[in-house]
Structure 1
Amino acid sequence: MDIAMKWYEIRVNTTEEASDAVSEMLTSMGAGGVAIMDPFDIRKEILNPNTLDYADDEFLESLGEDVIIKAYFQNGLDINDVLKQINEGLKNISQFLDIGKGLDGYGEIDDEDWSTSWKKYYKPFRLTDRIVIKPTWEEYEVNPNDIAVEMDPGMAFGTGTHETTQMCSRLLDNYMKDEYEVLDVGCGTGILSIIAGKLGARKVEAIDIDEVAVRVAAENISLNKESSRINVFKGVLTDLAQDEKKYDIIVANIIANVIIDLAEVIPYYLKRKASLFITSGIIKERRQEVVNACLKSGMSCIETLEMGEWVAMVFKCQDTL
C-alpha cells in the first residue's frame, strides 16, 4: 500500500510588492512547491465579468490584505534550520521591499492536499483584447479571433494574473511584429515566451535561474505547441555570448534590483536602433532608478504603464553596440 508523502507547510505573510521576491527566495532554498494566495488577485478575478467564478461579499471580506505564501519542504529536513534560513532570506529582502509580517509558523500536510488546492483560484481570463489565458483543467470557449494560451503553472510562477505580467503581455501585443526574435529573461512559467511565439515571433529564447521554472516553462511551451520556435534553458543573461545572440525584443518581468543590474548589458543583446527592452516587476518608488540605469546605457523610455503599485516600461536602444 502506498504511503502518502508528508511535507512541511511553512507559511509567510507578506505584502503584494514583496510576494514575487519571497516566492523566488523560497524556491531557491529548495521548496518543492510554493502556493500564493493574493487577496488582491483573487478579488480582481472573482469580480472580473469574464470569470467563471462567483463569491459573496462575506468571502471577499474574509480574504484580508496580506499575501499568504505557503512553501512546501520535504518532511525529514531539519525544520529549525529551514526556518532560520527563511528568516535570514526575509531579512535580506526587507532591505529593499516591505515584507509585511513575515514568517507565520508551519505544519505538516499530505502531498495530495497541497499540490492541487491552489487551482480553485485560477480560472480562464482575458489578458488583453485578444489574448486569453486558459488553465489546462478548465473548459472555455475561445472566440475565433482570440489567441489562447494554455497554462499549468505547476510549482513555478507566472499565471498571468499579476499586474506585471498583464502589462508585459499588453506591451508585447502592441510591439511584436512577425519574424521578431525575442529573449525572455526570468521566464518563470514561460507565459511571456508563449505569448511572443503566438504573436508571430520567429524565434524565442527563454532563460531562468530556477530549475523548476525551466521545467514548467518547457512543459507549457510543449502544451501550446510552440517548442519549434521557443528554446528554454537554465542560466543568466551573461551566459549568452554577446557577439552571437542579438534580439529584436528583450522582455524581463523580474524585480527592480535585477533590472538595474542588467541595464548595463541589455543593449549588447539588442540588434539595432529599433530594438526594444520591455520590463516590469518594478514598484513605483523605484521607477526612476530603473529609468536612470537604462538611460545611462544608451536606452530611452518610450512608454510607461502603471497598474496598482507596479510599473512597466518600454526602452528603445539608441545605438547598435
Structure 2
Amino acid sequence: MKVLEIKVVYESDDLEKAKKEIGDVFYDFGATGLKIEEPLTHKNSLDYYRDEKEFLMVENAVSAYFPINPYSERRKIAIQNAFDEKFAEREDLVYTVEFYEYDEEDYQNSWKKYFYTQKISERFVVKPTWREYEPQDDELIIELDPGRAFGTGTHPTTSLCIKLMEKNISSNDTVIDVGTGSGILMIAAEKLGAKEIVGTDIDPMAVEVARENLALNKVDEEKAKAYAGDLVSVVQDKKFDVVVANILADVLLILLKDISKVVKKDGLVILSGIIEDKLDEMIRAIKEIGLEILEIKADKEWRAILMKNI
C-alpha cells in the first residue's frame, strides 16, 4: 500500500513554538503521531564525528503520514492551504511543504498497532474500528479511524469541547457544529440525545469525511446532516439550542457575530480551539456581543468557553 508523507521544513526565530504550531495543523487533519527532525546543535556525540555530513544535512522538519485513498489529493491541497493561511504572512517563520509517496509493506495492518482506544471525557471513548472494547457503565463509544478524519478526539481542543457538551446537551436539543471537520462533535451530540444536528464546513472534503463517520457510527441521516458552506448560507434564519465550534481562535473571532445570531435566547454556545494567548481577546469579543460566560475549561495551553445567550 502507498503511504503519503507530508513534511514541513522550517526555520524560525522560535523553533519550539514553530514546531508546536506545525504539529497542531497536522493534528487538525487527523494525524495522531509526528516525525520530528532537528539538526544537532552541539558536537557532543560520537555519531556526529562518524558521519558529520549526515548530521549537517538535517533540517528542522515535522512530518505526518496518511494512507493514500480517494481523498488524498484534496487532502494535500487542504493541508497546503492550511499552512499557507496560518504562516504565509508570518515574518518569524520560513517554511516549505513537501509531499512524498512510498510503498510500505502491509501498511494497512502495521500502522494499526500504534492506535488504541482512548477515553477523552467522563463518558466518551474514541475507538478505532479494529479494536474491541466493552463500554463501562454509561460510557458512550465513538468509532473513528486515524487517517480518515480531521481530528480524532485526542487533541485537547476536541476533548475540552466534548467535556462541556456532555454536561450541557440535553435530550431533544437542537445542535449545530460550526466547522465540523471529522463530524466527531455531531456524533457526540447525537449520542447525548440531541434530536436534530447540523454540521457546516467550508471544506467539501471535510463534509464528505463527516458524512462517512456519521454513517460509521450509525447516526440517522435524517437526524444529523452535514453541509458544505458558510454558516450564514447554510442556516439562514434557523436558531439552535446549542452551538458548538472547535476552530482556531482567529476564525472564531470572525464568526462570533454570526454564531450569536443562530443560538436561541437562553441557548448555549461552546467554543474551543482557543490558545491561551488569545483568551483575553476572545473574552472581550464575547462580552461585546452580549453573551454571558458561564465556564472556561483549560487543558495545557488550550481553552474552551461555555456561554449563554441572555
Q: For this structure pair, what is the TM-score category when the shorter chain's length is used for normalisation? A: 0.7 to 0.9
Q: Which residue of 2 aligns with 1:152?
A: 145
Where 1:285 maps in the other structure, the secondary structure is helix
Deviations 1:159-218 (A, max 9, x none): 110001110000001111110000001111111111111001011001112222211211
Q: Which residue of 2 aligns with 1:238?
A: 232
Distance 1:130 1:150, change over 3 A: same
Distance 1:315 1:213, change over 3 A: same
CA contact (8 A) 2:31 2:147 kept: no
- 2:286 is equivalent to residue 294 of structure 1: yes
Alpha-carbon RMSD across the aligned residues, in angstroms, is 3.4
Deviations 1:117-164 (A, max 9, x none): 654432111122221111111111222422111223543311110001
Q: Any stretches of 5+ residues in structure 1 without a counterpart?
A: 28-33, 41-64, 75-81
Where 1:169 maps in the other structure, the secondary structure is helix
Q: Which residue of 2 aligns with 1:229?
A: 223
CA contact (8 A) 2:4 2:65 kept: no
- 2:258 is equivalent to residue 265 of structure 1: yes
What is the percent sequence identity of the aligned residues? 36
User: Aligned partner of 2:150: which letter?
Assistant: F
Distance 1:168 1:236, change over 3 A: same
Q: Which residue of 2 aligns with 1:206?
A: 199
Separation of aligned partners in 2, 1:98 and 1:131: 41
Separation of aligned partners in 2, 1:208 and 1:115: 29
Q: Which residue of 1 aligns with 2:119?
A: 126
Select the residue among 164, 173, 181 that pairs with 2:166: 173
Deviations 1:233-289 (A, max 9, x none): 21111113442x1101110001011100011121210111x2111011111000111
CA contact (8 A) 1:15 1:100 kept: no
Separation of aligned partners in 1, 2:68 and 2:270: 34
Select the residue among 7, 17, 20 that pairs with 1:11: 7
Aligned length: 271
Q: TM-score, normalised by structure 1?
A: 0.72
**Greater Rg over alpha carbons, structure:** 2
CA contact (8 A) 1:186 1:206 kept: yes
CA contact (8 A) 1:36 1:67 kept: no
Separation of aligned partners in 2, 1:142 and 1:200: 18
Separation of aligned partners in 2, 1:170 and 1:66: 33
Q: TM-score, normalised by structure 2?
A: 0.75
Distance 1:192 1:90, change over 3 A: closer
Q: Which residue of 1 aligns with 2:157?
A: 164
Q: Which residue of 2 aligns with 1:37?
A: 33
